[in-house]
Amino acid sequence: MAMYNPFPVGYQPYQMPYYNQPQQMSPQPQQAQQPMMTPPTIRAEIVQVDDEQAAANYPVAVGTPQMMITKDDKYIFVKTAYANGQYQLDAFEKRPPRPKEPPVDMSAYVTRDELEKRLSGITEAQRRPQKRTTKEEGDE
């Protein structure tokens, strides 16, 4: 409903001439306001359909994409119609969010210092001459 305006169309209220307007003592510098950069908001109407065939048959205006979702919430469709009578139907499978990965248990891993210590122990054992036990000598 339009607001009531008692003045004729194009009416401009009388402006006092500049020399009759009160003077300000000291003009205040105005700060330039930075425009706020916000991402655009997209609002979409989502239509419920039975299946992909119903989404393909749904009438869509040329150049206007239409979002659709199946009644069982399994699939989301986006249909775009073109001027030549063809259309494109994109289908997206709706899936639950991925489970969070469990934290890694670092106690099961060997540190570099532990590895070097074990490797040096093995190499030292290989360098030492092996002593034969009496039981081994008798086997020969």
Q: What CATH code is carried by the domain that includes residue 87?
A: 3.30.505
Residue 82's domain comprises 43-99
The answer as to whether 76 is a domain residue is: yes
The answer as to whether 9 is a domain residue is: no
pLDDT digits (tens, 9 = 90+) for 98-118: 888 888 888 888 889 999 998
Structurally, how many domains does the chain consist of?
Answer: 1
The answer as to whether 115 is a domain residue is: no
pLDDT higher than 80, residue 8? no
Predicted local confidence at residue 96, as pLDDT: 83
Report the pLDDT averaged over residues 57-69.
Answer: 92
Q: What is the pTM of this model?
A: 0.44
The answer as to whether 128 is a domain residue is: no
pLDDT higher than 80, residue 76? yes
Which residues, at least 6 apart from 93, have a Cβ–Cβ distance to it below 8 Å? 74, 75
The answer as to whether 67 is a domain residue is: yes
The answer as to whether 52 is a domain residue is: yes
The answer as to whether 80 is a domain residue is: yes
Mean pLDDT score of the chain, rounded to an integer?
A: 79
The answer as to whether 54 is a domain residue is: yes
pLDDT digits (tens, 9 = 90+) for 9-55: 666 666 655 555 555 555 565 666 667 788 888 778 899 999 999 99
pLDDT higher than 80, residue 60? yes
